[in-house]
A = this chain, B = another copy of it.
Amino acid sequence: MLQPLIGKLNDIRVVLASSSKQREQLLKSINLKFEIIPSDFEENLNPSEHTFSDFVENTARGKTSNVYEKLKNETPKPGMIIGVDTMVTFDGKMYGKPKNNEDAIRIIKDLTQSGLPNDVYTGVAIWYNNKIHTFTEVTTVYMAKLSNEEIESYVSTGEPLVNFTFK
């Protein structure tokens, strides 16, 4: 289904404004040619001032704009810039990347021990034809119940601080 589009996209300079390994693999899996230029956008929006979709779309827009500013005078010009932001939400709250192991344990307990689903919000901002187009996708995740021991053992690997969702 994507093949006719991929052909067109491979004629322009496509930039992924993200250093996420998972996003890189996703784009590679559709045979898109692209380069990776992470943004320096400071992710400092105040969650209490935004709905979930506003928050992730505005952060994604910030990343895309930041990379556009870096590249706008280059030759060849960028043809498409893709910025993305992902946020885990649960019971009406957004959960950012944990600050430390204690924070990671608290978050994972919240997300896994209540039996309630988590909604993962992903905002996408695509610069193309001198405009930024944004949209949000939501994935609902039902987590297995984890014991305190399982959570502490996982957090002690250090992975949650590096690799919490796609951030």
Q: Cβ of A140 < 8 Å from any Cβ of B?
A: yes
* Residues of chain B contacted by A116 (CB below 8 angstroms): 53, 136, 138
Chain B residues with CB under 8 A of A117: 119, 138, 140
Contact among B51, B114, B138, B140 with A93 in the assembled complex (CB-CB below 8 Å) = B51
CB 8 Å contact bits of A58-86 with B (1 = contact, 0 = none): 00000000000000000000000000000
**Interface membership of A35, Cβ < 8 A:** no
A119-B117, A119-B119 known; A91-B51 Cβ under 8 A? yes
In whole angstroms, how far apart are the Cα atoms of A92 and B117 in the complex?
Answer: 14
CB neighbors of B among A19-52 (8 A): 51-52
Q: Which residues of B contact A94 (CB under 8 A)?
A: 92
The reply on A112 being an interface residue by CB < 8 A is: no
A101 at the interface (CB under 8 A from B): no
Within 8 A of B (CB), among A98-138: 114, 116-117, 119, 136, 138
A92 to B48, CA, bound (A): 10
Proximity bits, A87-98, B CB within 8 Å = 1, else 0: 001011110000
11 contacts between A and B (CB under 8 A): A51-B93, A52-B91, A53-B116, A114-B136, A116-B136, A116-B138, A117-B119, A117-B140, A119-B119, A119-B140, A140-B140
- Nearest 6 pairs of A and B residues by beta carbon: A52-B92, A51-B91, A140-B140, A51-B92, A53-B91, A116-B138
